[in-house]
Structure 1
């Protein structure tokens, strides 16, 4: 028992050390508000090379400093391996103004200009680092997943591609249109108890937080905006972990004139409001199942990495 406790303690301390060593809090001022973001620069960073940037957005109630651990430090590991810069942005009072779904989130109620926040952060990165401005990507879970869609819709010339985890599309976003294509990948669970896979009201602790489209309708929007009407691939992933009570199915649509422009749906059958390959951060009765047949971070970076 003592050896087990020692092992658990050492793992925790190692993770804590990595979190402290790997990220740095960077201050910015956006329209008079003092804000910040967490920055990870890989060891193989070079001023002589333009590095891709991946934004990883937390969900409602989360914060940037927790996202590395929430994703099991996998984005940092991938950044070390492949040389991209990982950025963990911080929402205003633990939330993002992703649109006009409701006014329960402080950022939405106060109409915080979160799109401008990303403009400022990107400009801050450009001043300090050698970044590849043609390869800036964003992914996010829940409230963060709604926010990355707003970024793509309002800044399609900046964000090369986005990923949406455990989020659909809000109805106010549906009224917008793309100025130019933005590839997108959805990773959503069919048994999500917070953001309903088949559409309807987002419900958090018995509070309704605005209506959303179904995942099918959300994907149809992006397919039409990106002209990705050609079904290119359908794949069932191996059920590597039968104890997680869920399986994975992937569908890919491509633009016939440019195969790099894709819309991808990774459907987690019986999956919850969760990030595949990570821990069960809350009990299943609150958030549902976490799929362990794949690693969401690997899927996301593989999608981004392939886009030139």
Structure 2
């Protein structure tokens, strides 16, 4: 059923030069044809030259964004990812949104029920063909709506994605869930702020911009518990206070970890005082990379 609606993937190739702040790098923009729609993505040409049989990390933008808009925020992660033999890819949502698991989303991607699983499978096939990627090392990190898309990949494609990280995103409430979970546990890291009014830490209705309602989400505690229960953890996670490297930002971070031999690692980074943004104390994408690399070593 997962790929039942996936038509034969064809490729449209074109190059777009993009100057980055740190180097005269070239970003390659390409697309795959999925059920009549050309779905686009971007990746750094400099990265390609430095990897051999790489893994893949998909960096997913938030609602209303695009893939190229994420390149700068993930620059440190990409530099380290290359050293870890990982290729970083920045896909574009359908008309700037994802068809994730929130039933109430008015985005065209959701209304038209675009086939996101086919899109990601198509991109993986693309990188297999061109760069001989290692399909056992495929990951996704997403912010806000991209975090919801990362959850969907973990819920519906757990054998494809080794692990995911969701930033400032909670799982949809049960009344707002329109994905059919596989029931298979995967490693998940969550990064959420306690003062986030867009993605309420304690759960509630998500409202974007001009009263664009995305329906209700679970609390962060319930979201963490969902993944921990799926991995069959009992009891409480271990807690660790991260160094407050920027005392001026009014934020501190607590790490909660479920980790046992033979079970997927489940982590929450609780950003005390965090809003719908990235904390200054850590680079969230670098933290995601570290989390992903730990899963390869397990």
Tell me what 2:284 maps to: 296
Distance of 1:307 and 1:190 partners within structure 2: 27
- Give 1:178 deviation, angstroms: 3.5
Tell me what 1:44 maps to: 50
Q: Does 2:32 match 1:28?
A: yes
Distance of 2:183 and 2:100 partners within structure 1: 19
The count of corresponding residues between Structure 1 and Structure 2 is 274
Given that 1:56 and 1:139 are in contact with CA atoms closer than 8 Å, whether structure 2 keeps it comes out as: yes
- Give 1:210 deviation, angstroms: 0.6
CA 1:197–1:22 in structure 2 vs 1: closer, same or farther (change >3 Å)? farther
Tell me what 2:169 maps to: 167
Tell me what 1:122 maps to: 124
* TM-score calculated relative to the size of structure 1: 0.83
Tell me what 2:249 maps to: 244
Greater per-residue helix proportion: 1
Given that 1:178 and 1:225 are in contact with CA atoms closer than 8 Å, whether structure 2 keeps it comes out as: no
Distance of 2:68 and 2:179 partners within structure 1: 33
Aligned runs of 1:1-308 on 2, under 5 Å?
Answer: 15-16=20-21, 18=23, 21-40=25-44, 41-46=47-52, 50-71=53-74, 73-171=75-173, 172-173=176-177, 176-205=180-209, 206-229=211-234, 231=236, 233-254=238-259, 256-259=260-263, 261-275=264-278, 291-308=279-296
- Give 1:101 deviation, angstroms: 3.0
Given that 2:101 and 2:179 are in contact with CA atoms closer than 8 Å, whether structure 1 keeps it comes out as: no
- Structure 1 window deviating more from structure 2 (61-70 vs 264-273): it is 61-70
- Give 1:87 deviation, angstroms: 0.7
Tell me what 1:9 maps to: none
Unaligned segments of structure 2, at least 5 residues:
1-17
RMSD of aligned alpha carbons: 2.0
- Give 1:113 deviation, angstroms: 1.3
Distance of 2:220 and 2:180 partners within structure 1: 17
- What are the superposed Cα offsets for residues 181-212 of structure 1, whole Å, 9 maximum, x if unpaired? 21000001011121101000001123322110
Given that 1:250 and 1:265 are in contact with CA atoms closer than 8 Å, whether structure 2 keeps it comes out as: yes
